[in-house]
Amino acid sequence: RKEVEQDPGPFNVPEGATVAFNCTYSNSASQSFFWYRQDCRKEPKLLMSVYSSGNEDGRFTAQLNRASQYISLLIRDSKLSDSATYLCVVLLHTGRRALTFGSGTRLQVQP
């Protein structure tokens, strides 16, 4: 079983749609959680951290459910520029900074 699992997609949605991605992690000792965005053939970049109480950044909302060991990302009012792969990332060991990356969920927003 993978440590961090994501539905690979692709999710094809029209502009303006709301789309949600889920991610599950296997290690209950995981400490911190993040969403990264990766454009085609480019490097990953931090999108947002995920806090226990849930957090929002503009059209993006991230939530964490520790009991069920899953993380979600909600994108409202999708834009063409949101088309990318979204990577779920879990931090296991602070000292080593062992970030474990999911394989990513691909989003394609269509006009």
Partner 1 sequence: EAQVTQNPRYLITVTGKKLTVTCSQNMNHEYMSWYRQDPGLGLRQIYYSMNVEVTDKGDVPEGYKVSRKEKRNFPLILESPSPNQTSLYFCASSQFGDTGELFFGEGSRLTVL
Name the site residues for partner 1 (rule: CB under 8 A).
4, 8, 31-34, 41-46, 49, 87, 89, 91, 94-99, 101-104
* DSSP character string of the chain: --SEEE----EEEETT--EEEEEEES-TT--EEEEEEE-TTS--EEEEEE-TT-EEETTEEEEEETTTTEEEEEE-S--GGG-EEEEEEEE--TTTT-EEE---EEEEEE-
The nearer residue to partner 1, 14 or 40, going by C-beta atoms, is 40
Q: Closest separation between CB of residue 31 and partner 1, Å?
A: 7
Q: Closest separation between CB of residue 16 and partner 1, Å?
A: 30
The nearer residue to partner 1, 78 or 85, going by C-beta atoms, is 85
